[in-house]
Chains A and B, each alone.
Chain A
Amino acid sequence: MIIYNRILLFRTVFCLICLFLYQPDQVSGKESLPEGIKWLTNTTDPTFASEQAKKGGIFHSSILSFPMTFRVVGPDSNGSFRSAFDDNQLSLINIHPNTENIIPELATHWAFGDDKKTMYFKLNENAKWSDGKPVTADDFTFTLEFMRSKEIVAPWYNDYYTKEIDKVIVYDDHTLAVVATKAQPDLHLRVGLTPIPRHFYGKPDKDFIKKYNWKIVPNTGPYQVSDFQKGKYIHFERKKDWWAKDLRYFKNRFNVDKVVFTVVRDINILWEYFKKGKEDVFSLTMPNYWYEKSKTPVIENGYVHKIWFFNDTQQSAMGMWLNQDREIFRDQNARYAFAHAMNIDKVIKNVLRNDYFRLEHGFVGYGKYSNTSIKARRFDLEKVGQYMRSSGWNRGGDGIWNKDEKRFSVEVTYSNDEHTPRLVVLKEEAKKAGIELRLQRLDPSAAFKKFLEKKHDVAWMGWSTSLRPQFWEHFHSINAHKPQTNNITNTDDPEMDRLNDAFRNSLEEKERIELSKKIQSKIHEIGCFVPTFMVPYVRQAYWRWWRLPEIPGTKMTGDLFSPFGSTTGGLFWYDKDLHAETEKAMKANQKLKPVTILNELYKIKS
């Protein structure tokens, strides 16, 4: 004990000395805050959590495969589970999910510089990392150093944080400015940085990738990893004295004490688990689950409730991404023909019960930024014939197009077993059009790796979305023909590059909207993406002791029971009494009223 105290004392002294040595350097030579800054904040937008929410309970959720790493940068880090880590890292500011106005997060106040490329922030002085260290302006400086470092092996981030963000200016521990490289209309979306803890990483060295594969990084959000076993589970625990718990837009949210993610590799087993009550929520977005499989005692007896909630948000670019480095798809006519050979409408009608909607292009739901004049290419055998013949293809004896001993036969790689019926129908229909699809189902991680390494013919996947459309990463030639970038179509088109650069460099919102629409037309013209479905709603089943606010979600809600996520997550809570009541009813075989909630408040009017 004495030794321990001595060490502690020594450390304190050491820290004081360091601080003493460090401090003058910090202050001298630093710029001072410019005059006449108009500080802004937002304490007036409506809150969207429920006053009735109570803290407590354990929330059981699942993941289909264990993440390949806990890092959120570097190789193999771009899997789906990274959102659980990202969601627990707050940024300077955020967007209100219903009004899209700026709301405070780590910063309490912000201000815009006259140059349209600088934003000033005042940090919340209570903001703390999960290891107890305060969040300081220096952590944002470190974000730049870290993201620009070659050692993290993340070319996209290297590039983004060099080309988009110029610098972070520290005025004092709690005041800073973030400067973008150029003036731009949506500055707040660009410069609302997320801090990275310098005290945790130090300077990234060449061992970074290996060293931080399974390290738990301190965070600023409501939950932190408390326990995990690779391949099996990850537990998150709520921080009991989280610094932000009483802030206006965080109050009454993030109510569950503990979130348990178990690896369940099979969706059928997951469904069985859910019916046994080992899982708390199950997604019923798939039509066969919503209509057929939910005719099950736990739902009919009212122990499990169903909800269908329409949202109004950016739609994932779900569809077929054609690899233009493959010989067949180098020809634009072949790409057009391929698109016309996909009978998506039949799949929607006969397999998906008209529950899904046709996605017209990759950027639907981005408001003014969406080009609503684009219509996806429809199933049309005549057009397929025209395009193929004009490129010199002929129908072979098996009915498949043929040119120089080469058949129009392509591999479609996908990862979700539930999508097999859709693809089987597409395959049969494509055969009529003279195109053979070879279906290949891989484990999600393996499939994604294959796409990123550009080894696919056709990738069947959707991308996650952001507030404004992202074109550069998917369509700029800088990201083509090399592994580990998101340009999985290997789009390499000078005009597209020009538009992309112009979009990135543009200052004017109007011009950006114009460019955005032009780029979308260009994507349609290139024809490297065949849009398939959109699902502008979320359908879920949940055990009735989980409670949702009166308006269960927000315009941006993609999952009503997302435990984290500073924008829309953590609205639900656990009701102990209802749990007891339900268990009693189940034991006594007593039926409760079945409940199906339909909420169309935010449904897009067509």
Chain B
Amino acid sequence: MKLNPLTQKKIRRFQSIKRGYYSLVVFIIMIGISLFAELLINNRALIVYYDGEYYFPTYGQMIPGKVFGLDYEYETNYRDLQKRFRAKNSENWLVMPIIPYGKLETDLKEDRYPPFPPSFQEEHYFGTDNVGRDIVARLVYGFRIAIFFSLILLLANYSIGISIGIVMGYWGGKFDLFFQRIIEIWSNVPFLYVIIIISSIVVPNFMMLVLIMAFFGWINMTWTMRTVTYKEKEREYILAAKSLGASNVRILFKHLLPNTVAVIVTYAPFSVSGGIVALTSLDYLGFGLPPPTPSWGELIQQGWANMNAWWISISVIVSMLITLIVVTFIGEAVREAFDPKLHTTYE
């Protein structure tokens, strides 16, 4: 793929801003890990060798205990199975992921009551929450939900916001006036309260929550896009495209949009962190995704409710801090890379 020399320059500039560049690398690794979390943190084994056959339980349907000669029909407890294999010294074997606990699995003990503190021996490296679920598992799976929530939300918000904003700026006149008023009214609806009211009546699922948030989230982008379009459409290249007989749609999406991309790209990382914070705070308040979905907000809530169990709040706060810092660094670097004045520095 051949890139526009200007774009290449921007990418080089971005790469030269080390803080932002490495943040992006870290961020991609984080997403990568979370995408393959089932292979790293799971109560299902990676490979089971049993009576001459190989099983790969990680993805796909559950394998009932009967298959491995156990006396139950529900999902195999692979940690137990491993112990059994070892005790029998049989030639069967299995490999567990690094953290052998699932995101929803409650690991309860006799005569002790959760939350359990961190323990290397039990492989609960960050301890457990108030029902004995592994905190690392909750964090990683919670991160996956939060990050994809905010990416999808970003996509939804930006496609609506940009389309409407660019059209407002391009056509101007009555259309612009009309939409301005609509947006003014819209933006006066206290959206957090609306979400809280809706979620106290129906507990929303993932997509519904995205929809509700997008319903109010597209507004911010319209203002910026409208202004930028107003500026851009007076440029000569638009006039040239018009005189060549280009259609409105072509002008909007082929000529105007690519020239406003700098604005969009600089806003995006901050919207991502905004999305994460929004979902986390809704979960914290108990109006987000229903339990037992792994969620950072719920962990913060638990940390607050169990102050003595310091490992809950510390691990979730540190994870949150790292994520938000990484995203913010990326945002800063992108902004700088797209800055026409090359002298801005961030210290």
Q: How far, in whole Å, are A428 and B101 apart by their CA atoms in the complex?
A: 13
Contact of A439 among B73, B105, B292 (CB under 8 A): B292
> Hey, which chain B residues are within 8 Å of A442, CB to CB?
200-201, 203
- Is the CB–CB distance between A420 and B62 below 8 Å? no
B45-86, CB under 8 A of A: which get 1 and which 0?
A: 000000000000000111010000000111100000000000
Write the nearest CB–CB distance from A79 to chain B, whole angstroms: 15
Closest to B304 in A: A268
Taking the complex as formed, is B180 at the interface, i.e. its CB lies under 8 A from any CB of chain A?
A: no
- Is the CB–CB distance between A395 and B73 below 8 Å? yes
Q: How far, in whole Å, are A169 and B308 apart by their CA atoms in the complex?
A: 64
Taking the complex as formed, is A433 at the interface, i.e. its CB lies under 8 A from any CB of chain B?
A: yes
Taking the complex as formed, is B305 at the interface, i.e. its CB lies under 8 A from any CB of chain A?
A: yes
Write the nearest CB–CB distance from A298 to chain B, whole angstroms: 14
Query: What range describes how many residues of B lie at the interface?
Result: 20 to 34
Which residues 296-349 in A have Cβ within 8 Å of B in the complex? Answer: 346
Q: How many residues of A contact B (CB 8 A)?
A: 36
Closest to B72 in A: A381
Most chain A C-beta atoms within 10 Å of own C-beta, residue among B61, B105, B113, B308: B113
Besides A381-B73, A395-B64, 9 more A-B contacts (Cβ < 8 Å) are: A288-B130, A291-B113, A350-B110, A353-B113, A397-B60, A397-B62, A428-B104, A428-B105, A431-B75
Contacts A292-B308, A425-B106 hold; do A432 and B72 have CB atoms under 8 A apart? yes
Write the nearest CB–CB distance from B310 to chain A, whole angstroms: 13
B103-115, CB under 8 A of A: which get 1 and which 0?
A: 0111011100110
- Is the CB–CB distance between A446 and B73 below 8 Å? no
Q: How far, in whole Å, are A397 and B61 apart by their CA atoms in the complex?
A: 5
Taking the complex as formed, is B117 at the interface, i.e. its CB lies under 8 A from any CB of chain A?
A: no
- Is the CB–CB distance between A268 and B305 below 8 Å? yes
> Hey, which chain B residues are within 8 Å of A7, CB to CB?
none
Which residues 100-135 in B have Cβ within 8 Å of A in the complex? Answer: 104-106, 108-110, 113-114, 130-131, 133
Taking the complex as formed, is B274 at the interface, i.e. its CB lies under 8 A from any CB of chain A?
A: no
Q: How far, in whole Å, are A268 and B308 apart by their CA atoms in the complex?
A: 13
Q: List 16 A-B contacts (CB under 8 A).
A: A288-B130, A292-B306, A350-B113, A397-B61, A397-B62, A398-B62, A423-B291, A424-B106, A424-B292, A427-B292, A428-B106, A432-B74, A434-B73, A440-B203, A441-B286, A446-B200
Write the nearest CB–CB distance from A65 to chain B, whole angstroms: 11
- Is the CB–CB distance between A421 and B290 below 8 Å? no
Write the nearest CB–CB distance from B110 to chain A, whole angstroms: 8
Q: How far, in whole Å, are A38 and B305 apart by their CA atoms in the complex?
A: 60
Closest to A449 in B: B201
> Hey, which chain B residues are within 8 Å of A381, CB to CB?
72-74
Write the nearest CB–CB distance from A265 to chain B, whole angstroms: 10
Which residues 192-218 in B have Cβ within 8 Å of A in the complex? Answer: 200-201, 203
Q: How far, in whole Å, are A167 and B308 apart by their CA atoms in the complex?
A: 61
Taking the complex as formed, is A443 at the interface, i.e. its CB lies under 8 A from any CB of chain B?
A: yes
Which residues 280-306 in B have Cβ within 8 Å of A in the complex? Answer: 286, 290-292, 304-306
Closest to B109 in A: A350
Q: How far, in whole Å, are A434 and B166 apart by their CA atoms in the complex?
A: 52
> Hey, which chain A residues are within 8 Å of B291, CB to CB?
420, 423-424, 439, 441
A383-409, CB under 8 A of B: which get 1 and which 0?
A: 001000000000101110000000000
Q: How far, in whole Å, are A431 and B201 apart by their CA atoms in the complex?
A: 26
Closest to A439 in B: B291
- Is the CB–CB distance between A440 and B290 below 8 Å? yes
Q: Tell me the dominant secondary structure on chain A's binding face.
A: helix
Taking the complex as formed, is A525 at the interface, i.e. its CB lies under 8 A from any CB of chain B?
A: no
> Hey, which chain A residues are within 8 Å of B113, CB to CB?
287-288, 291, 350-351, 353
Taking the complex as formed, is A417 at the interface, i.e. its CB lies under 8 A from any CB of chain B?
A: yes
> Hey, which chain A residues are within 8 Å of B73, CB to CB?
381, 385, 395, 399, 434
> Hey, which chain A residues are within 8 Å of B200, CB to CB?
442-443, 446
**When A and B form their complex, which 4 residue pairs have the shortest distance between CB atoms, in order from nearest?**
A397-B61, A432-B74, A350-B108, A421-B131
> Hey, which chain B residues are within 8 Å of A268, CB to CB?
304-305
Q: How far, in whole Å, are A417 and B72 apart by their CA atoms in the complex?
A: 32
Number of A-B residue pairs at CB separation under 8 A: 81
> Hey, which chain A residues are within 8 Å of B203, CB to CB?
440-442
Q: How far, in whole Å, are A292 and B113 apart by their CA atoms in the complex?
A: 10
Write the nearest CB–CB distance from A446 to chain B, whole angstroms: 5
> Hey, which chain A residues are within 8 Å of B306, CB to CB?
292
Write the nearest CB–CB distance from B217 to chain A, whole angstroms: 25
Q: How far, in whole Å, are A420 and B104 apart by their CA atoms in the complex?
A: 13
Taking the complex as formed, is A251 at the interface, i.e. its CB lies under 8 A from any CB of chain B?
A: no
- Is the CB–CB distance between A432 and B75 below 8 Å? yes
Write the nearest CB–CB distance from B113 to chain A, whole angstroms: 6
- Is the CB–CB distance between B108 and A425 below 8 Å? yes
Write the nearest CB–CB distance from B50 to chain A, whole angstroms: 19
Taking the complex as formed, is A182 at the interface, i.e. its CB lies under 8 A from any CB of chain B?
A: no
Closest to B196 in A: A443
> Hey, which chain A residues are within 8 Å of B75, CB to CB?
399, 431-432
Closest to A438 in B: B290
> Hey, which chain B residues are within 8 Å of A421, CB to CB?
114, 130-131
Q: How far, in whole Å, are A432 and B70 apart by their CA atoms in the complex?
A: 14
> Hey, which chain B residues are within 8 Å of A417, CB to CB?
286
Which residues 410-450 in A have Cβ within 8 Å of B in the complex? Answer: 417, 420-421, 423-425, 427-428, 431-434, 438-443, 446
Write the nearest CB–CB distance from A278 to chain B, whole angstroms: 18
- Is the CB–CB distance between A399 and B74 below 8 Å? yes
Write the nearest CB–CB distance from B47 to chain A, whole angstroms: 20
Q: How far, in whole Å, are A438 and B62 apart by their CA atoms in the complex?
A: 19
Q: How far, in whole Å, are A120 and B83 apart by their CA atoms in the complex?
A: 76
A273-297, CB under 8 A of B: which get 1 and which 0?
A: 0000000000000011001110100
Write the nearest CB–CB distance from A429 to chain B, whole angstroms: 9
Most chain B C-beta atoms within 10 Å of own C-beta, residue among A295, A434, A446: A446
Write the nearest CB–CB distance from B158 to chain A, whole angstroms: 32
> Hey, which chain B residues are within 8 Å of A432, CB to CB?
72, 74-75
> Hey, which chain A residues are within 8 Å of B74, CB to CB?
381, 399, 431-434
Write the nearest CB–CB distance from A396 to chain B, whole angstroms: 8
- Is the CB–CB distance between B292 and A399 below 8 Å? no
Which residues 349-381 in A have Cβ within 8 Å of B in the complex? Answer: 350-351, 353, 381
Closest to A440 in B: B203
- Is the CB–CB distance between B64 and A399 below 8 Å? yes
Closest to A425 in B: B106
> Hey, which chain B residues are within 8 Å of A438, CB to CB?
290
> Hey, which chain B residues are within 8 Å of A287, CB to CB?
113
Write the nearest CB–CB distance from B108 to chain A, whole angstroms: 4
> Hey, which chain B residues are within 8 Å of A420, CB to CB?
131, 291
Closest to A447 in B: B200
> Hey, which chain B residues are within 8 Å of A446, CB to CB?
200-201
Most chain A C-beta atoms within 10 Å of own C-beta, residue among B61, B73, B105, B306: B73
Write the nearest CB–CB distance from B282 to chain A, whole angstroms: 13
Q: How far, in whole Å, are A397 and B113 apart by their CA atoms in the complex?
A: 33
Write the nearest CB–CB distance from B6 to chain A, whole angstroms: 51
Q: How far, in whole Å, are A417 and B133 apart by their CA atoms in the complex?
A: 17
Which residues 202-259 in B have Cβ within 8 Å of A in the complex? Answer: 203
Write the nearest CB–CB distance from B276 to chain A, whole angstroms: 22
Closest to A421 in B: B131
Write the nearest CB–CB distance from B257 to chain A, whole angstroms: 42
> Hey, which chain A residues are within 8 Å of B105, CB to CB?
428
Q: How far, in whole Å, are A417 and B298 apart by their CA atoms in the complex?
A: 11
Write the nearest CB–CB distance from B209 to chain A, whole angstroms: 14
> Hey, which chain A residues are within 8 Å of B304, CB to CB?
268
Q: How far, in whole Å, are A146 and B74 apart by their CA atoms in the complex?
A: 57
Q: How far, in whole Å, are A428 and B131 apart by their CA atoms in the complex?
A: 11
Q: How far, in whole Å, are A235 and B201 apart by their CA atoms in the complex?
A: 29
Write the nearest CB–CB distance from A161 to chain B, whole angstroms: 33
Write the nearest CB–CB distance from A376 to chain B, whole angstroms: 21
> Hey, which chain B residues are within 8 Å of A293, CB to CB?
308
Q: How far, in whole Å, are A442 and B133 apart by their CA atoms in the complex?
A: 23
Contacts A351-B131, A385-B73, A441-B286 hold; do A398 and B106 have CB atoms under 8 A apart? no
- Is the CB–CB distance between A439 and B286 below 8 Å? no
Most chain B C-beta atoms within 10 Å of own C-beta, residue among A385, A420, A446: A420
Q: How far, in whole Å, are A159 and B347 apart by their CA atoms in the complex?
A: 77
